[in-house]
A and B are shown apart, each in its own frame.
Chain A
């Protein structure tokens, strides 16, 4: 099973990289773009066929290492 994990800064926490990209998009004429948020994407193979167990495992990985939940939030897809 493959896990695809996205980690981004929580809403409300300043994302300086997102801001810089937003300004760059704006100066390139992409006037419709707003609220750019930069994050990390990770994918990994899980030696697990039970989706419920895989979910427990991926959640634990995110809480313990992959995300710092003081500043970041995470979401994942399994498949």
Chain B
């Protein structure tokens, strides 16, 4: 597999993502500068975390107009796997690839700590190697992760099982106290109706090696690779 990692001015988790793909999972990785206009040859695309354009105006508001985003939209429309982590999620929201918007964290602080999230839908290309309801311990690091959308859109997300991760307690209970940022419905990650575009605030790339603490995020990348493998297999039959 060849996975692209988009690099915006101000991205700072791009090399962590590349490390996971290349060194931990042994696949090819291509760093894609935001001025590129083609994603040809790539099997999946990661929009990494960071502070694209210094978070000026709003998080992701300027990055969404980077030349590469046209290609990301086409790639997603054709069913390609796109994952946005943290600032990548914020960019997907601003670009309209996922519904909703991010508000400043409820307590106004930049929150940087491990949290627990529950896998709400394990039937996506990003979560197939998790169990439904599995609790992951995974780091967050953001100031604007307070997910908001209108009630109609929220009801749609819930009805279509597009809420993929919810903040929860260590025991898997979804409570207001377990939510680090005030997100509506404790939402930590959502996908598009097709299930091939995922946005999430927690950083799976920061927990993939037991030697570095924990590896709860590893199965997310392995799920993606497994899904792409199946797609290729079908394509060659």
Contacts and interface: CB of A to CB of B under 8 A. Distances in A.
Interface in A57-79: 65-66, 68, 70-71
Interface in A3-52: 9, 13-14, 16-17, 20, 40
B94 interface: yes
Contacts of B61: 65, 68
Contact of B100 (A13, A16, A70): A70
B148 A68 contact: no
Nearest to A67: B58
Interface string B133-163: 0000000000000101110000000000000
B101 A14 contact: no
A70 B104 contact: no
Given A14-B182, A65-B57, A71 B104 contact: no
Contacts of B94: 68
Contacts of B149: 70
Interface string B53-67: 000011001100100
Interface stretch (B42-50, B105-113, B194-202): B105-113
A9 B58 CA distance: 12
Main secondary structure of the interface of A (DSSP, over half): mixed
B115 interface: no
Interface residues of B, number: 19
A68 B108 contact: no
Contacts of A20: 108
A8 to B, nearest CB: 13
Contacts of A16: 103-108, 146, 182
A9 B146 CA distance: 14
B106 A68 contact: no
A14 B103 contact: yes
Interface of B: 57-58, 61-62, 65, 94, 100-101, 103-108, 146, 148-150, 182
18 contacts: A13-B103, A14-B103, A16-B103, A16-B105, A16-B107, A16-B182, A20-B108, A65-B57, A65-B65, A68-B58, A68-B61, A68-B94, A68-B101, A70-B100, A70-B101, A70-B148, A71-B101, A71-B148
